[in-house]
Copies of this chain bind each other. A is one copy, B any other.
Amino acid sequence: MENFSEWFHNVLEEAEILDSRYPIKGMSVWLPKGFKLRKYITEELRKLLDEEHDETLFPLLVPENELAKEGIHVKGFEEEVYWVTHGGSKELNEKLAIRPTSETAIYPMFALWIRSHIDLPIKLYQVVNTFRYETKHTRPLIRVREITTFAEAHTVHVTKEEAEEQVKTGIKIYSELFDKLAIPYIVSKRPSWDKFPGADYTMAFDTFFPDGKTLQIGTVHNLGQTFAKTFDIKYETTESTHELPYQTCYGLSDRVIASVIATHGDEKGLVLPAIVAPVQVTIIPIIFKDGQEEVLSKVEEIEKLIKDNGFRVNVDNRDIRPGKKFYEAELNGTPLRIEIGPRDLKENKIVLTRRDTLEKINVSLEDDLIDIINDLFEDMTKTMKNKAWKRLNGNVISVETLLESKKTIENGQIASIKWCGEDSCGEDIEEETGLDILGTQEKTSGKCIYCGKDAKYNALIAKTY
């Protein structure tokens, strides 16, 4: 991809995912095809979360005094909050914030709900729109003012250990989702100056975009007791004392959808994992005068077979050239295209084309088509996943000096360094390079790449979105 930014912009428009001509910058319209992609991705997430969370829905607006309660938290968001000040022509008694995230909407309710240790743990989530008054350059799905798909989970626990465990569970759930979507990721612990405002620590998922930048696509926060203290959330123990519980929260956004598009797409358009493709199989009848009836009846038979087996299938029987149909199926990222024509039928076969490799597969009408489709979908996701992981892994380069790390990043790669872990040193590194320390991974020994003190962690430096 020559110019990723341009490609991304074009594919959203041409594949009819989003219309970003909406008259407010940073807010877009989900078009029917895009909406379906978003729906299927969200459904996969819900399946994973529903196993141990309850879905709920909290109001969009937050009273100013609730938002202001947690000082560190509000400081992190204050320049990004949209404020509602009027109802009709009347000025409101109290300003209302449009949620930038929902801690301050949810935790006052936790204080009402939690009385005793038997009320815990609480594990809930909601999928909502949130808002950030972005002053930077916006980009659809990546840096927006209305995050249309913000899936945020919030949990409350009796012990610190349970909260730690829940952080691991959050990481596991998101890993499973990204695996299903064939999106590769790096998990790291954000440096302290980059953690979620108010959290004890933040674990983050970053993926690697074709332009050499990383994109944060999910975060899991251990909130400790900070918010419990602020919002006066307490539970009664078996010994009748009152204690502060431990909290976690974790979230994903539209960026997951951006990553599915950016990771797998090619110069022909979208390439989608079958699990989330709006149309999984498109059947294209090849019509000549001869054998037309036979073709159409076979098309109908095969459509029914595929549909009855639970796949999303369509038949493209528009009166346009097959070439245009192939073009559109490729643009839309439809995983499998089936051509059915009179010559193939005479040879007792149909032709499948897989979107990822564009490889053509002749399938005999005697074979079990459903088995073949299932195998192909599995193989395609595996192939897409391997390719994407290979690209990510091949671009994480261990370096020994700051100069090397700058070169690595200029080269569109990610640098892995040894780091002392000190805030002041890290901030110096970021200032000197103009790059971001993504976070720390496993512990290490040796010397810090910058200050020369004993290294504590391997850390990653990248150019980030």
A residues at B contact (CB < 8 Å): 19, 21-24, 27-32, 35-36, 38-39, 54-61, 63, 66, 78-90, 96, 98, 105, 108-109, 112-113, 124, 129, 131, 133, 146, 148
Contact = CB atoms under 8 A, between A and B. Distances in A.
A96 to B, nearest CB: 7
A362 B152 CA distance: 46
A58 B29 contact: yes
Query: How many copies of this chain are found per oligomer?
Result: 2
Contacts of A61: 24, 27, 82, 146
12 contacts: A19-B113, A21-B112, A28-B59, A32-B54, A35-B54, A59-B146, A60-B129, A61-B146, A78-B88, A80-B88, A81-B87, A84-B85
Given A22-B109, A57-B148, A61-B24, A88 B79 contact: yes
A46 to B, nearest CB: 10
- Judged by DSSP, the binding face of A is mixed
Most chain B CB within 10 A, of A66, A98, A108, is at: A98
A31 B23 CA distance: 35
Contacts of A27: 59, 61
Most chain B CB within 10 A, of A24, A80, A89, is at: A24
Contact of A24 (B36, B38, B63): B63
A364 B305 CA distance: 38
A79 B87 CA distance: 7
B30 A57 contact: yes
B24 A96 contact: yes
Contacts of A113: 19
Nearest to A82: B84
Contact of A78 (B30, B56, B82, B89): B89
B21 A35 contact: no
Contacts of A129: 60
Nearest to A38: B57
Nearest to A29: B58
Nearest to A54: B32
Contacts of A56: 29-32, 35
Given A24-B59, A63-B24, A133 B87 contact: yes
A385 to B, nearest CB: 29
